[in-house]
Every structure is written in structure tokens, then in C-alpha cells.
Amino acid sequence: MSVSALETAAVPALVEDAAAAPSMHNAQPWRFRFLRADDVFQVYADLERAMPQADPTTRCLHLGCAAALFNLRTAMAHAGWATDTELLPDPADPRLLAVVRLTGPAPTERGVVEDLAPLYPAIRRRHTSRRPFTDEVIPHAVKDALSAAALLEGARLIFPDPWHIHTLLDLVRDAEGRDATDAAASEELRRWIRVGQDAVRAASDGVPDYAFGPRKLYGSAPVRDFAGRGAVPGREAAAFENVPQLAVLGTTSDGPRDWLLAGQAMERVLLEATLDGLATSLTSQALEWPELRWTLRDPQSAMGFVQMVLRLGYGPAGPGTPRRPVDEILEIA
């Protein structure tokens, strides 16, 4: 199969689409390699962007890389290519998370490839929103579609009952209290915060102050305040929702392969939600403390391990955040 057109023009654009994925503190911990002779993309973890305090097992790093992997699969489908994905193909190199092989033009009949392609417009529209959402209830049909999206990628998405949401919010508050008194965790977080015009202008990663969202006057929405106790000039304050609409994404096991499945499911859910007109954000505070994480799951569900908590609702979309230049994350061999 000739891929000359893909080599010269499409490869950087495909990787740029992949890199629009969310990642913890927008660290963008991924690298891509395209092997021209084999028609293969390799997706690597960039361990220099790991967070030993908040993510000592690199679980969240795997989630972010897997979200980028899903975007790559979606962009390939949109471009008309059929692909085959293999996770963790080399036991001797755990940094190599996945390979995506081009297998030929996408079939015209309905199938998995056709199912991915319609998600493509949401890749650039999806942004984390740290602003208040309205009280409008998400319809059951939309929730069912999001749960089905997660299942297609080998994970489960459930919408907790009120008692479970209350527990989730308590655990998030507990985690926020622990974070505030942990000097090492606070220092690690500061590494990824971009405050002030000069820092924001020069940033290619991290969370810029314009994406912090308003300071919370009151409300129960689990939104991380990246400003902490610091003041950001011009930052407004707002009331957040008292009854946030949360979803829990999880897997039956808890190893690197499960994290990669969960990350792809997370991104598929986020893209589906974006197309459905929902604003989204991710909540991982309680997941960053092992002694809190195990209590996040609903013991009545078959979900063994919670991988991410999603906040969904109707409200303003978040702003775009900086991205690393493609030539920093892509090698063509």
C-alpha cells in the first residue's frame, strides 16, 4: 500500500489531532513515531512529563496517552483509513503503549471505522470547562448513549445515585484538603500552572490562568482550583451547581492495559458528549490518593476500579489550552 501522500502531508495533521486530547494538568505526556516502511504509528509515553506525587503509578499518564490514541484512531477514520490497534506490543519496552497499523482504505459499509469518523468534528471542539453548568438534567437517552460509548472501548460508565454522588463529593473535598497541606504535591502542581501574560504567551503546555474558570462562591461542583490561594487579576467569582451531574468511568481490572482501555473510553465519551451539546470536565483529585480511590466505586456495580470521574452538563465550553508543536512530539522514520 502506498502512503506517499500520508507521509508528506497527513502525518503531522493526524498527530496534531491526536494531541488535542486531555491530559492531567495538560502535561501532554505523549510522543508519536511513524514508520513509513510499515505504515505504522507508534504511541509512546513521555515519562519526563510524569508526576511522581499525583500519579506515582503513571495511571493518569496512561489515560492521557490513550485519549490521544483514540483521537488518532478517529482522525484516521475521518481521513478514510482503516486501522488495527495493538496495545502494549513490546513487553521489553513499557513506554511503547500502542501501535496503530494502516490496513487500507476505510470500508464504505457501516462498521467500527464509520462509527468513529462522525466523532471527528468534536476533537477540536472538546475543551475542559471549569465554569458553572446549569441545572438542566441530562436526558436518559444521552446518558445511555455515553455509557454505550464507553462499552465499545472496553470500559464502563455509570451515572451514580444521589448517595454515591454525596460520597464522591466528600472524597473530593478530603483530597483537596490533603493536597493543600502536602508541600511536594503543591510544588508539583505549580510546575504546570501558567499565570501572567508572559507565562501564558510562552506556554506550550500546562494550565493557563484564562482556563482556571471563576473562583467558586459556593456550590458542590468538583472543580479543581488551579489558583489555590493565589490571586489572579481580573478573575471573576461565580456560583456553581449544587447538584453536579457526575459519571464514573471504570474497569474490572487495574493494570496498564486497563488504563489504556479506560483512556480511550474516556475520550470517546467526551467526544460523544461534545457532539450532544454537553460541556465536560474531569475530576481526578480523589483518584490521586490510593486510600481514597478505592472508596469511589459503587460496591453494587461490577466496576472494580474507578479510573476517572466526569462532570457533565449544559453550560459554556472551556477555552482551548496550549499544545506542544508537532515537531516536538512526532518523529517520522
Longest dimension (CA), the chain: 58
DSSP secondary-structure letter at 301?
S
Q: Report yes or no: 90 and 98 within 8 Å, Cβ to Cβ.
A: no
Three cell numbers at 56?
A: 506515582
pLDDT in tens, 137-162: 999 999 999 999 999 999 999 999 99
With a cut of 90, say whether residue 229 has pLDDT above it. no
Looking at the whole model, is its pTM more than 0.85? yes
39: three-class secondary structure by DSSP = coil
Residue-level pLDDT at 7 = 62
Assess contact for 276 and 118: CB atoms under 8 A: no
Q: Are 216 and 225 a contacting pair, CB within 8 Å?
A: yes
Q: Which DSSP letter does residue 212 get?
A: S
User: What are the tens digits of pLDDT across the range 158-201?
Assistant: 999 999 999 999 999 999 999 989 999 999 999 999 999 999 99
Q: What pLDDT does residue 9 have?
A: 74
- pLDDT tens for 270-323 read 999 999 999 999 999 999 999 999 888 877 777 889 999 999 999 999 999 999
Phi-psi region of 155 (alpha: psi -120 to 50; beta: other; left: phi over 0): beta
Identify the pLDDT of residue 299: 74
Residue 39 in this model has a pLDDT that exceeds 80: yes
Arithmetic mean of pLDDT, 79-89: 95
Is the distance from CB of 26 to CB of 207 less than 8 angstroms? yes
Q: What distances in angstroms separate CA 154 from CA 71, 128, 206, 281, one per listed residue? A: 16, 23, 29, 21
